[in-house]
Amino acid sequence: MKKNITLLNWGLITVAAIATVLNEYNLIAIPEGILLLLRWSAMAGLLAYAFIKRNLTTSILVAMVIGTEIGYDFPELAKNLHFLRQIFLKLIKTIIAPLLFATLVAGIAGHSDLKQVGRMGWKSLVYFEIVTTIALFIGLFFANWFEPGAGIVAPTDLAGTLPTVEPQTWQDIIVHVFPENLAKSIYNGEVLQVVVFSVIFGVALAMLPAAQKNKFVSGVELLAEVMFKFTNIVMLFAPIGVGAAIAETVGHMGIDVLRNLVMLLVTLYCALLAFIILVLVPVALIAKVPIIKFAKQIAEPVSIAFATTSSEAALPKAMEKMEAFGVPRQIVSFVIPTGYSFNLDGSTLYLSLATIFVAQAAGVDFPISQQIAMVFMLMLTSKGVAGIPRATLVILLGSVANFGLPEWPVFLIMGIDELMDMARTSVNVIGNCLSTTVIARWEGELDDSKMQMSDQVVEEDIIEEILEH
């Protein structure tokens, strides 16, 4: 049955795609009504396949395709679907603080091995710094190789509003890591501040007598389990939120957006692909991580990150998947949230590439010595990038201002920033998931048997589990 439906779907998609291309390039005139019928027949087949499959990854991917179609065929409707994306992101944000607090406190206080916390801390920071620095240099190399900004003429009628940039010293960035009010940190979505509070709280709890400590640890472990179940419920809404996000993007920018600033997009995507192949894959091989199994495990959080352009949206699922992959909970709950401020590989690569693009577009001579100085500056300032959509624009403006470059090319980047954000956010999530396996291997706690069996475990049917309980 599934095989027949799959074959039928591919047939419908192929016919609809061929008909659309033939009509688009005026090879054969096909009435718009027939094209709509063909495309939406294919969408209906995909929807039926997702319903039969009942797999979250499949549902999200199908939702992305349907969202693209809605944005293409009904752009005005698609623009009004932003509230669905916002609902999904709001629900996800309610999970993050209690989930991080519960998993970190339980992991630290439950094991009472405070030395391990210190070890994980310095090992994580060393790994993060090495990988993100390599990402910066890869972005630099591709920007100079492809020269995406060369030959751009400054537009005379360019208008818009750029984010305001508050000048920050390195002292300001360090001070910002520490929370002054936990409720304020949660409200502002300051992931790293919540992590710092949770780590200190967990250390303090570990110092209590065992009888008192164990009561609280049991409650916190229960809270963590509840939040993972809460995540499963919220993920039922993920395909709708993801589809709405894609529909809104296509509705606003049009399907032809790929024709604008195509060289910059190609440069970024090639640079990110090179980073994955030249850095992340060798790291995975060194850590003895089976790449195919790892890719299957992170497919869901990466697809969520790609569609919503938000690392935060993928955080709960990424933590759950890496724990199922054989990484101990105390390592997952420490490394991934910390990486959201210190290990944003895709965003740091983008920052170096985009700064060179601005210089090329403005026709400013940017010698290698200044480019190296820019890399070292971004090594520090990029650590202040939160895992939220388009926060990198603020850091980019700070870099542009620091080197006396004009701001008008940033307006051009903003036009396609959504498409670039999809790729760099996905790489951020991939890098952070991989970092948990590296630290777990370094600590000698990676469960190889669980890791090898990860792709043989049938995915839990969330809907049936909820109905059953």
Contacting residues for 248 by C-beta, under 8 A, at least 6 apart: 71, 78, 79, 81, 82, 85
* pTM of the complete model beyond 0.85: no
Residue-level pLDDT at 177: 76
Three-state secondary-structure class, residue 333: helix
In a domain? residue 66? no
Q: State how far the alpha carbon of 110 is from the alpha carbons of 105, 214, 316, 440, in Å.
A: 8, 8, 21, 17
**Would you say residue 69 lies in a domain?**
no
Alpha-helical regions (H) of 168-237: 170-176, 182-187, 191-206, 210-235
In a domain, 463, yes or no: yes
The answer as to whether 98 is a domain residue is yes
336-365 core/surface letters (b: 16 or more CB in 10 A; e: else): bbbbbbbbbbbbbbbbbbbbbbbbbbbeee
Tell me whether residue 53 is in a domain.
no
Predicted confidence at residue 100, as pLDDT, reads 76
Residues 40/15, Cβ–Cβ less than 8 Å = no
In a domain, 45, yes or no: no
* Total domains present in the chain: 1
Would residue 187 count as lying in a domain? yes
Domain with 167, as residue range(s), is 82-468
Q: Residue count of the chain, please give it.
A: 469
Largest CA distance in the chain: 80
The span from the first CA to the last CA of the chain, in angstroms, equals 29
Q: Residue-wise pLDDT tens for the chain (469 aa)? A: 666 666 776 777 777 778 777 776 667 777 778 878 888 888 888 888 778 777 777 788 788 888 888 888 888 888 888 888 888 878 877 887 888 788 778 777 766 566 777 788 889 889 988 999 999 999 999 999 988 877 766 555 444 454 554 555 667 767 877 888 888 888 877 767 887 888 888 888 888 888 888 888 888 888 888 888 888 888 888 888 878 877 876 777 665 444 445 788 889 999 999 999 999 999 999 999 999 999 999 998 998 888 887 777 888 889 989 999 999 988 898 888 888 767 889 988 998 998 898 888 878 888 888 888 778 777 766 654 544 444 566 667 667 766 778 777 776 676 567 778 889 999 999 999 999 999 999 989 999 988 888 766 544 444 455 445 5
Please tell me the distance from the alpha carbon of residue 469 to that of residue 465, in angstroms, as a whole number: 6
- CATH code, 96: 1.10.3860.10
Query: From the CB of residue 91, how many other CB atoms can be counted at a distance below 10 Å?
Result: 18
Angle at 242 between CA 236 and CA 245, to 5 degrees: 145
Measured distance CA(68)–CA(121) in Å, rounded: 41
Using CA atoms, how far apart are residues 333 and 319, in angstroms rounded to an integer?
7
